[in-house]
Amino acid sequence: MNFDLPEELQDIRRLARDFAVSEVLPTVDADDKAHRFRRDLVEKMGELGFLGCVIPEEYGGNGLGYLALAILAEEIARVHSSLRIIFAANTLGPAITIWRHGSEELKQKYLPGLTSGKLLGCFAMTEPNAGSDVASMKARAVLEGDYYILNGSKMWISLAPVADIALVYAYTDPSQRAKGMSAFIVDMKSEGITVEAITEKLGNWSSPVGTITFENCKVPKENLLGREGQGFAICMQQLDNTRLASAAGAVGVAQACLDAAIEYANTREQFGQPIGKFQMIQDMIAQMCVDIEAARLLTYRAAFLKDKGVPNTLETSMAKLFASEAANKCADYALRIYSAYGYSEEYPVARFFRDAKYYQIVEGTSNIHKLIISQDALGYRKANRSS
């Protein structure tokens, strides 16, 4: 078992870190406070190949794989969690799903734009009364001639206010429950679509989120992904991928908390010495170090298994759960170390604290991942059964 990253992946980490520090960091606080989404930065990420890791070269990607994507997502989140969301909402949402289940026409039409950042995608799964219970969604798509007529509402959709296309899940046969769900690619400029931004949220202020309402929206039947009734299976497969990006993002936020805590502990003095000399501060630093290393290894293992094509639902859930909890623990400890200064917006710790909570909620809450892991251990429902 080799834990060393190949030179190529080490180069990718350096490239991502250099980009994040030189291009993102200088304006991160101003962008965050202005709730400003930086599409120009997304396009620069596309130019550098960041958005094409899991897409083959023939469609504009580079095929570097999931581990490369995890490293990129970690380094971007280490500077700005909001920008990291592009890896889940765009790359591991519509892009890879089109590549796996779309027609050749859809691949040629959308993948080069999604991998370059010229097009932005989102995925629309969650509804007002359908969150963790995906199968309880109400959105309907009825085939009429050459079009599906789509009706329904989606909520908490990352990048919805700025997306060009959406991966949308809806029922084509509600009587079949999960087996009656289908997946579609929808042009967000189509008639019958209304998007409303959700601006009042706790964290990730620079990542736009919104509700999408479909009212008799016509979707060409060619935009169906896979076959009718495959939507739930496609959705679960997609979540396995987007959860990796969330785990990597959580590792990045946790690392940012540790970086800030170490710098502050070595410069802030009380009682005639740096506060890093006090054992209670050292205790928190030590716990942060161990949790981050464990979270990173769990995340990289999940990515490694994905690159090998090995079933990994269980390992991905473990990574997502542990990394999310580690990010929140590290954010809490960093704020304690900063004390009153951490509670203000003068230092970035307040932003880390706000952004970290997001990771316990998206792509399956921490409780959902506990269910997946525990039911696998107990033998009630094997997580990797259908891979």
* Token pair 């490369």 in the structure block, residue: 68
Q: How many angstroms separate the CA atoms of 93 and 187, rounded?
A: 15
Of 228, 315, 325, 363, catalytic: 363
DSSP3 helix / strand / coil % (the chain, rounded to 5): 60, 15, 25
Residues 311, 81: contact at Cβ < 8 Å? no
Report yes or no: 373 and 314 within 8 Å, Cβ to Cβ: yes
Burial of 279 (0-12, 13-18, 19+ CB in 10 A): exposed
Phi, psi (rounded to 5 degrees) for 168 = -115, 135
Provide the terminal-to-terminal Cα distance of the chain, rounded to the nearest Å: 23
CA distance to 50, 242, 314, 367, per residue, from 66 (Å): 11, 11, 16, 25
By the 8 A CB rule, do 174 and 144 touch?
A: no
Structure tokens at 265: 């502990």
Cβ–Cβ under 8 Å, residues 79 and 18: no
Helix axes 349-358, 313-338, angle to 10 degrees: 150
Q: What is the distance of C-alpha 355 from the center of its chain?
A: 13
What's the length of the chain?
387
Task: Report the 3 state secondary structure along 209-275.
Answer: EEEEEEEEEEEEHHHEECCCCCHHHHHHHHHHHHHHHHHHHHHHHHHHHHHHHHHHHHHCEECCEEH
263 noted as active-site residue? no
Give the C-alpha separation, 287 to 270, whole Å.
22
Catalytic residues: 363
